Structure 1
Amino acid sequence: MAASPAPFAPFEWMIAWRYLRAKRAEGGVSVMTWISLIGITLAVFALIATLAVRSGFRAEFVDTILGANAHVTLYNAGTINEQTGHIDRTLHDYDAMAERVGAVPGVTRVAPLVKGQVMANSRDRNAGVQVFGISPENLKTIPRINNPETGIGDIDAFRVIPDTEQATVAIGSGVARELSITVGDKIKLILPGGVKSPLGATPRVKVYDVAYVFTAGRYDIDRTRIYMPFAEAQSYFNREGRATELEVMVEQPEAVDNMTADLLGAAGELSQVWTWRDASGGFLRALDIEDNVMFIILSILVLIAAMNITSGLIMLVKNKGRDIGILRTMGLTEGSVLRVFFICGAFTGMIGTFFGVILGCLFAIYIDPIFSLVNVLSGGQAWDPSIRGIYHLPAQLQMGDVLSAVALSLGLSFVVTIFPARRAARMNPVEALRYE
């Protein structure tokens, strides 16, 4: 007795290839094959492009947070001032506190800050801004601020000028644009109730030279933030000998939650901790939910495209009923018939997936010129940084995302092929040839 041929033998591939390229006049469904292939290609392209943009947006957003903001902020819970009866949340022993916190394993930098909100003015322009009082040495360690590629001016000029009561400031590019100023210009800062007098509190007004203009990459930072030398900020905000908070940078920001107990222990009693995850947790959770929903929606799109393979194979099986009957009478087994039509559907899915991956990767790689073209065609309104926070649409190709798209596409293509292939394999050759 002759041995059965091995699965996916060369003759099975030959028959499947003959059916795939058969013209409609020959009983083939080449048009349906092309529709299925194009559908799979576009669905995989859309899935990879969306996953790349999603990964890029999240990476850019997190990078701007970690590159321009504290990974951990330490506050004072507050004590009651016996003289005024008000709650005092400033840090009086910030140097000792910073030394203790800096000794915690994993901490790379601790910087005392003085923070406050003021009105910025230049000629007839005004803007509400937030002032960060920080030492020049600590300012230079903030990656998104001390960036020669995006900064304008000399960050070394950010300092209190020796033997004078003057100081320079560093301002965000959004503030500079709003006030129409640049490096070398003067900016007036107005603090309501900054000066105490017998007649009551009066605004404190002081003019500073702009030494440096930074672009952190986040609209809300560049549009509202001004850095002032720490000693000058203490004087300006009436915080002599005190700090508002401690800015802490760590080696592994993603694992910052595991360090909060040690940081609180080092900071001492009445200390409170606020991590970058606490500050942006709501937005990050919203991104996670949006990611999951988009993946599900695009998976359905891939499934719909894969269903075209089923339609095409059902038509192919119907048109090739006579051929199936002849092949079965010649000794072709049910398994061989099933594999022939499985190859037809799976091959379409694989080719469509291949081209979809190519298009998706090219889109992610060349997203900047593509987005620039879209922005030009839309009149420059395709991306509003005041709403989305960052200045451009980023994309980041990740191997896991590409593999997920490929696995999903191939998996669905193989699954939807099984039903029409089984139908062809179980076709009765007698019934198929009865009217031939």
Structure 2
Amino acid sequence: MQFERLVALRYLKAKRREKFISLISFISIAGVAVGVMALLVVIGVMTGFDQDLKRKILSVNAHVILIKPGYSIVDYDALVKKVEAVPGVASAKPFIYTQVMFSGPNNISGGVIRGLDLASIHQGGPAAIEVRDGSFTTLDKVQPAELPSVAVGNELAKNIGVRVGSQIKIISPLGTLTPMGRIPRVKNFQVGAIFHSGMFEFDNTLVYASIPQVQEYLGLGDKVTGLEIRVDDIYAADTVAAAVQTALGPGYQTRDWMRMNRSLFAALKLEKIAMFIILTLIVLVAAFNITSTLIMLVMEKHKDIAILKSLGATRRSIMKIFILEGLIIGAIGTVLGLGLGYLLTAMLKKYEFIKLPSDVYYISTLPVKVESLDVALIAGATMLISFLATIYPSWQASRLDPVEAIRFG
């Protein structure tokens, strides 16, 4: 390979009489670089979007939920101990979840009230939620003459016109059954905190209250909707959910976060694969430039090829020379493209200069996450395409007849 590499590098560096070939070589490198850069940026954005969406979904929802279909759970303290004894379970906490209507000074909006356990309230609310105003700890501090407190999503607060200290009326359609029909339950609460989860869907529909207050409001007694379970490994949530259901026996049902959001993440994965295939076509177009560059180089260097063959170079050696030259062009383009891609993704991550409508995309800025596996796949696919682009011109060079080339050159 020393001989072939030496000649390939010499051809690449040499000043050619045909300046047009040098221009095509530069365009080939630029084309590969642009294709690799586009691939890296788009795949990085898709990966970042996927991971950011998972993080924000899990900031509000549990890794696994345990419910009793058709019934509320009564003896949940004993159930928590059984669940936490299952290997892989980090913690289990009761929750209440029901759909209601919210009425404020400016508007009425539908949404969900979620009962939060006192331990989470004393910790300042769910770990991944940002408190914009007030405090979650007020949800547990209720004096006899005061209204109970709730924590309201920032978009919902804006929509119905409330802030910390304002009153909010919560209406439940699952009210009291009377001879005149079902009467909705209506109760006034006080806004004790405004939070931001980062997902418009949650921030515009979700209100937190303490479990005792929700139980009293809905007339549930000591019942809860179910248990929310946190696991040690979020990607093993389905296995842990199955183990929990086996440990508790029939009558209970578990659902993990992957199952609950399966269609969403399957669509994101399919879109990422589709974008990879589509943007690889940019590299494929650049590969045609590599092919044309090598064909023109073979035409220019036909005398050199003839002399090399006359001195004993084999067809295989001639093929290697031009394959190496094409791979060098592809490698330079790949390295430049990866460098430009890393630079652009770093700028996107730091400055966040691309804004998104949060009510459409769930997020307000473009997330970026570059993974080493994606980089390896992009570089590998680019080099494979570059190699395939060199085969035909290299084969044509190896078939050149030295006698004909010298006689008519």
* Same fold flag (TM > 0.5): yes
Distance in 1 (alpha carbons) for counterparts of 2:148 and 2:175: 18
Determine the structure 2 residue equivalent to 1:384. Answer: 357
What's the offset of the Cα at 1:197?
4.8
Determine the structure 1 residue equivalent to 2:6. Answer: 10
Which secondary structure state, in structure 2, belongs to the residue aligned with residue 341 of structure 1?
helix
State yes or no: 1:29 paired with 2:13.
no
> In the superposition, relative to structure 1, how do residues 9 and 272 fare at CA in structure 2: closer, same or farther (>3 Å)?
closer
Determine the structure 2 residue equivalent to 1:133. Answer: 115
Determine the structure 2 residue equivalent to 1:120. Answer: 102
Determine the structure 1 residue equivalent to 2:394. Answer: 421
Query: What amino acid sits opposite 2:132 in the alignment?
Result: G
Deviations 1:351-383 (Å, cap 9, x if unpaired)? 1111100111112211146752x54xxxxxxx2
Query: What amino acid sits opposite 1:429 in the alignment?
Result: P
For residue 396 of structure 1, the aligned residue among 363, 369, 384 is: 369
For residue 299 of structure 1, the aligned residue among 264, 268, 280 is: 280
Distance in 1 (alpha carbons) for counterparts of 2:249 and 2:308: 84
For residue 315 of structure 1, the aligned residue among 296, 318, 333 is: 296
Query: What amino acid sits opposite 2:115 in the alignment?
Result: G
Percent of pairs identical after alignment?
A: 32
Deviations 1:386-416 (Å, cap 9, x if unpaired)? 2222222211011111111111111221232
Bigger CA drift: 113-122 or 132-141?
Answer: 132-141
Determine the structure 2 residue equivalent to 1:95. Answer: 77
For residue 69 of structure 1, the aligned residue among 42, 61, 70 is: 61
Q: Is the 8 A contact 2:37 2:337 kept in 1?
A: yes
Q: Is the 8 A contact 1:310 1:416 kept in 2?
A: yes
For residue 184 of structure 2, the aligned residue among 193, 199, 203 is: 203
What's the offset of the Cα at 1:42?
0.8
Distance in 2 (alpha carbons) for counterparts of 1:178 and 1:124: 7
Q: Is the 8 A contact 2:105 2:161 kept in 1?
A: no
Bigger CA drift: 394-403 or 420-429?
Answer: 420-429
1:28-427 pair list within 5 angstroms:
29-78=21-70, 89-139=71-121, 140=123, 142-145=126-129, 147=130, 151-164=132-145, 166-192=147-173, 194-197=175-178, 199-368=180-349, 372=353, 374-375=354-355, 383-427=356-400
Which secondary structure state, in structure 2, belongs to the residue aligned with residue 54 of structure 1?
helix
What's the offset of the Cα at 1:182?
2.3
Distance in 2 (alpha carbons) for counterparts of 1:267 and 1:402: 44
Query: What amino acid sits opposite 2:128 in the alignment?
Result: R
Distance in 1 (alpha carbons) for counterparts of 2:251 and 2:5: 76
Distance in 2 (alpha carbons) for counterparts of 1:191 and 1:409: 58
What's the offset of the Cα at 1:46?
1.1
Query: What amino acid sits opposite 1:365 in the alignment?
Result: A
Q: Is the 8 A contact 2:98 2:114 kept in 1?
A: yes
Deviations 1:52-88 (Å, cap 9, x if unpaired)? 111111111111122210111111123xxxxxxxxxx
Q: Is the 8 A contact 2:115 2:208 kept in 1?
A: yes
Calculate the aligned-residue CA RMSD, in Å: 2.3
Query: What amino acid sits opposite 1:144 in the alignment?
Result: A
Which secondary structure state, in structure 2, belongs to the residue aligned with residue 29 of structure 1?
helix
Query: What amino acid sits opposite 1:189 in the alignment?
Result: I
Q: Is the 8 A contact 2:185 2:218 kept in 1?
A: no
Distance in 2 (alpha carbons) for counterparts of 1:238 and 1:165: 20
> In the superposition, relative to structure 1, how do residues 38 and 23 fare at CA in structure 2: closer, same or farther (>3 Å)?
farther
Q: Is the 8 A contact 1:171 1:210 kept in 2?
A: yes
Which secondary structure state, in structure 1, belongs to the residue aligned with residue 341 of structure 2?
helix
Which secondary structure state, in structure 1, belongs to the residue aligned with residue 262 of structure 2?
helix
> In the superposition, relative to structure 1, how do residues 346 and 268 fare at CA in structure 2: closer, same or farther (>3 Å)?
closer
Q: If the length of structure 1 is used for normalisation, what is the TM-score?
A: 0.86
Q: Is the 8 A contact 1:17 1:344 kept in 2?
A: no
> In the superposition, relative to structure 1, how do residues 9 and 273 fare at CA in structure 2: closer, same or farther (>3 Å)?
closer
Q: If the length of structure 2 is used for normalisation, what is the TM-score?
A: 0.92
Q: What is the number of equivalent residue pairs in this alignment? A: 407
Q: Is the 8 A contact 1:256 1:275 kept in 2?
A: yes
Query: What amino acid sits opposite 2:77 in the alignment?
Result: D
Structure 2 alignment gaps of length 5 or more: none
> In the superposition, relative to structure 1, how do residues 228 and 304 fare at CA in structure 2: closer, same or farther (>3 Å)?
same
Distance in 2 (alpha carbons) for counterparts of 1:304 and 1:220: 41
Distance in 2 (alpha carbons) for counterparts of 1:257 and 1:241: 29
Determine the structure 2 residue equivalent to 1:378. Answer: none
Distance in 1 (alpha carbons) for counterparts of 2:392 and 2:146: 84
State yes or no: 1:431 paired with 2:388.
no
What's the offset of the Cα at 1:24?
2.5
Which secondary structure state, in structure 2, belongs to the residue aligned with residue 65 of structure 1?
helix
Q: Is the 8 A contact 1:57 1:394 kept in 2?
A: yes
> In the superposition, relative to structure 1, how do residues 11 and 40 fare at CA in structure 2: closer, same or farther (>3 Å)?
closer
